[in-house]
Amino acid sequence: MELTRDTVNFEEFLGFLDIEHYLGLRGPDTWSRDGNERQVVVKTLIGEILSQYMPPSNALPELYLEFARRLQPHDYVLTFNYDILLERALDAVNKPYRLFPDRYESFGRNIGFVDSNKDEIVILKLHGSIDWFDKSGYLEMEKDFKEQGATILPTHPVFNSNFDWGISRVLDGPRRANDPLQNMHRVADIEGLYKQQILFSATPWMLSPSTNKIIYASPLEEFWDGLGRSGCTNFGMAIIGYSLPSHDHYARQAIYSIVKNYQEVNWGEDFFGFKKTPLVLIDHRTTPESVRDFKNNYRFIDFDKSILHMDGLDAVAIDKIFN
């Protein structure tokens, strides 16, 4: 069979590369902790392309600013997107948010004490982000330099650069010493960073868009923890523009559990004056056939307890989400 753009399944090809790297099939020729060469190229190109099309904070579409304004403290946004549009919109409207599930006051021997005093929106980026960079590799290089008696630190386009990219940690506040995201950092000026041609020098921390991305998801286990019990006591829920690909079984399983809990547990009951509202499904489908395909893909949903909006994310959709 001739290999062409139409005959190659891109996700399956990346899945092959993920297995090759994860199992170390190339032995000492394994390129880096971020992946082998092709994986690094894909992740970096995704970052470069998205950063080129990412509107700056002072030119964000009003639709996204309005979405950000409507979000309330303690709302959760679970996203598979790599971009930082939502973060920039929340910054623009001065809405505080965090990028991890729980904030802690302190830790005991076997337990963490949750800090619930801050009114924050929670964004969980389940596939990573174009502005995330793991400092662990650089810290290992720094250690090697010191052990070899070097008097200078290794250069790095993110963590030891002449440019101020606006670097901050993804996590905030007290954390367990072995937290897998302990060394994860965000870069504010991603446009400037990616223009420096960082390929093979710094790789954004993202799960490749492959059929096997779950094998690299262990640093984000806390993001998934407990999602199978979610939805029971929530009063509003929306699914926006997610195709639910068949190869992402873990995502399908989580969404199935949340939806079933939402639509079946405590449905119609009054909690201090609050009742669950219909599940809102937002997508862009232009034909009856494509709508049927969408509904078949989400056939575990009770559509009698749902609202479908197939005109994409627009002002009407936002009203339906937040009503």
Question: Does 78 reside within a domain?
Answer: no
Question: Does 317 reside within a domain?
Answer: yes
The percentage of the chain sitting over the pLDDT mark of 90, rounded to a whole number, equals: 86
Enumerate residues 6+ apart whose C-beta is below 8 A from 160.
138, 153, 154
Within this chain, do residues 292 and 232 fall inside the same structural domain, yes or no?
Answer: yes
Enumerate residues 6+ apart whose C-beta is below 8 A from 200.
37, 40, 44
DSSP class of residue 163?
S
Q: How confident is the model at residue 5 (pLDDT cuts 50, 70, 90)?
A: confident
Q: How far apart are CA 66 and CA 60, in angstroms?
A: 10
Distances (CA, A) of 59 to 54, 64, 65, 83, 312: 10, 11, 10, 16, 21
Strand partners, 282: 240, 309
pLDDT tens digit string along 131-143? 999 999 999 999 9
Within this chain, do residues 186 and 283 fall inside the same structural domain, yes or no?
Answer: no
Q: Are 63 and 321 in contact (CB under 8 A)?
A: no
The percentage of the chain sitting over the pLDDT mark of 70, rounded to a whole number, equals: 99
Question: Does 143 reside within a domain?
Answer: yes
Domain of residue 109, residue span: 1-63+87-208
Question: Does 55 reside within a domain?
Answer: yes
- Residue 81 has a pLDDT of 97
Q: Which of 3-12, 46-55, 186-195, 293-302 has the lowest mean pLDDT?
A: 3-12
- The mean predicted confidence, pLDDT, of the chain is 94
Is 70 exceeded by the pLDDT of residue 63? yes
- pLDDT, average across residues 142-148: 92
Question: Does 251 reside within a domain?
Answer: yes
Last-in-domain residue among 208, 241, 258: 208
pLDDT tens digit string along 268-313? 999 888 899 999 999 999 999 999 999 999 999 999 999 999 999 9
Q: How far apart are CA 302 and CA 236, in angstroms?
A: 15
Within this chain, do residues 168 and 252 fall inside the same structural domain, yes or no?
Answer: no
Q: Are 125 and 79 in contact (CB under 8 A)?
A: yes
Question: Does 241 reside within a domain?
Answer: yes
- Residue 237 has a pLDDT of 97
- pLDDT, average across residues 84-108: 95
Question: Does 74 reside within a domain?
Answer: no
Within this chain, do residues 22 and 118 fall inside the same structural domain, yes or no?
Answer: yes
Q: Which residue has the higher pLDDT, 133 or 10?
A: 133
Within this chain, do residues 275 and 181 fall inside the same structural domain, yes or no?
Answer: no
Q: How far apart are CA 5 and CA 192, in angstroms?
A: 31
Q: Which of 188, 75, 183 is nearest to 123 (CA)?
A: 75
Within this chain, do residues 167 and 43 fall inside the same structural domain, yes or no?
Answer: yes
- Residue 195 has a pLDDT of 96
- Residue 1 has a pLDDT of 64
Q: How confident is the model at residue 109 (pLDDT cuts 50, 70, 90)?
A: confident
Last-in-domain residue among 174, 208, 242: 208
- Residue 8 has a pLDDT of 83
H or E element that contains 104: strand 104-107
Q: How confident is the model at residue 7 (pLDDT cuts 50, 70, 90)?
A: confident
Q: Which of 123, 43, 46 is nearest to 89 (CA)?
A: 123
Within this chain, do residues 243 and 192 fall inside the same structural domain, yes or no?
Answer: no
Within this chain, do residues 105 and 170 fall inside the same structural domain, yes or no?
Answer: yes
pLDDT tens digit string along 180-207? 999 999 999 999 999 999 999 999 999 9
- Residue 23 has a pLDDT of 96
Is 90 exceeded by the pLDDT of residue 2? no
Within this chain, do residues 280 and 186 fall inside the same structural domain, yes or no?
Answer: no
Within this chain, do residues 174 and 234 fall inside the same structural domain, yes or no?
Answer: no
Q: What total of structural domains would you count in the chain?
A: 2
Last-in-domain residue among 175, 208, 241: 208
Q: Which of 157, 153, 102 is nearest to 124 (CA)?
A: 102
Within this chain, do residues 274 and 302 fall inside the same structural domain, yes or no?
Answer: yes
Question: Does 188 reside within a domain?
Answer: yes
pLDDT tens digit string along 204-258? 999 999 999 999 999 999 999 999 999 999 999 999 999 898 889 999 999 999 9
Q: Which is it for the CA torsion 251, 104, 237, 91, positive or negative?
A: negative
Identify the three-state secondary structure at position 5: coil
Q: Which of 126, 114, 140, 139 is nearest to 258 (CA)?
A: 126
Within this chain, do residues 181 and 51 fall inside the same structural domain, yes or no?
Answer: yes
